[in-house]
Amino acid sequence: MKVGVYFDLRVPPGSGLDPARVYAHTLEMCEFAEASGLDSIWVSEHHGFDDGYLPQALTFAAAVAARTRTVRVGTALVVAPLHATVELAEQAAVVDLISDGRLDLGLGAGYQQAEFDLYGADRDARFATMTGQVSELREMWSGKRVTPAPVQSPIPIWLGSGGEYGARRAGRLGANLLFVNPDLMPAYRQGRADAGLDPGTGRMGGPFFALPSEDPDREWSEMSGYIAYQQNSYRRHMARGVDGPPPREYDPAAGRNRSLSGPGAFWFGTPEDLTARFAAWIGDCPVDTVFLWASVGGMPEKTVERTVDLIARRMAPLLRGIGKGGNNCESNKTPLPGEPAAEAGSVIV
């Protein structure tokens, strides 16, 4: 199993953080992650967030590619229906060229009505739009419509989905599945079989919603506020543009790891404890790659540095020892934080 880190570059209001410095420090952390032996770096995108959530994943991926030499550089994910397909094809090709063939292009259909309103895009058509874009991207990268062609032929495409229908779609399109959930593997493999593809060669990977700590009890008072911000902000933003009551906010005073579920939720514990939870969750399912948040909720630089170091030094060796690629995708059925409570069309990141 490959292990990486993830950045969303958020600057919570009132945190005192400077966006330009957050961007600069994140690039420093990408260099540090590579030097520390991690395998990949992932970034995401959202639009119109009051905390400046990274709005252009491929732009920042280009900067990461220029500052590194060996790590894979991934998007987790780009909200594909918001973008013109030729724009995605060209931007991805440029990142792949800068990185000399290290880009993993993660795409999702999106879910926030406010983002589609901002772009003037049709949210109701998002799944059909993204499905068409996958085929169009590969055709454009052949060198006939987008020049120069990317180094990889084609660039690996990962599709985010938290539900069986989306997993089947990813398999049918010959894409990798950008979400770690053993229960989705049968649908994913069925999709590949339906398309005449080898069901056993598909790849599953994605986020592990966890923050490691060498002393969780001592550090909980410091970290709980960042974790609470992350979970509550996702709950609020998922409700943007949707009628209904405001979401219930997570209260860190309720206790560590108590009732942590849904988008934005994180396990917090020692590397050994977190790895054991993850291993129990995936069972023998062949998880290809996993990445952990390097920073949540406006963590200060020293805390981000400590987290990346701990992921590389303690967490990665443990995670690489599991998920050896068996075919039994049965788990203990205990949802990890971040797992959607009900079927969703797109992974929540």
In tens, the pLDDT along 37-70 reads: 999 999 999 999 999 999 999 999 999 999 999 9
Nearby residues of 49 by Cβ (< 8 Å), 6 or more positions away: 10, 233, 237
Domain with 97, as residue range(s), is 2-319
Note the pLDDT tens digit of each residue in 158-216: 999 999 999 999 999 999 999 999 999 999 999 999 999 999 999 999 999 999 999 99
Instruction: Using DSSP, state whether 43 is helix, strand or coil.
Output: strand
Question: Cα separation of 346 and 349, whole Å?
Answer: 9
Q: Is residue 337 part of a domain?
A: no
Cα angle: 127, vertex 341, 343; to 5 degrees: 25
Question: Cα separation of 204 and 282, whole Å?
Answer: 11
Q: Is residue 52 part of a domain?
A: yes
Whether the upstream peptide bond of residue 317 has omega within 30° of 0, thus cis, is: no
* Nearest residue to 75 via CA among 22, 6, 2, 172: 6
Report the run of H or E that residue 98 belongs to, with start and end: helix 85-98
According to DSSP, residue 269 is labeled: E
Q: Is residue 333 part of a domain?
A: no
Q: Is residue 233 part of a domain?
A: yes
Note the pLDDT tens digit of each residue in 251-300: 676 655 544 444 456 889 999 999 999 999 999 899 999 999 999 999 99
Q: What mean pLDDT is reported for the chain?
A: 89
pLDDT at 233: 85
Note the pLDDT tens digit of each residue in 290-310: 999 999 999 999 999 999 999
CATH number at residue 44: 3.20.20.30
pLDDT at 231: 85
pLDDT at 341: 36
Q: Is residue 349 part of a domain?
A: no
Q: Which of the four pLDDT bands, split at 50, 70 and 90, describes residue 249?
A: confident
Calculate helix-pair angle for 57-67, 85-98, nearest 10 degrees. 10
Q: Is residue 348 part of a domain?
A: no
Q: Which of the four pLDDT bands, split at 50, 70 and 90, describes residue 325?
A: low
Q: How many domains does the chain have?
A: 1
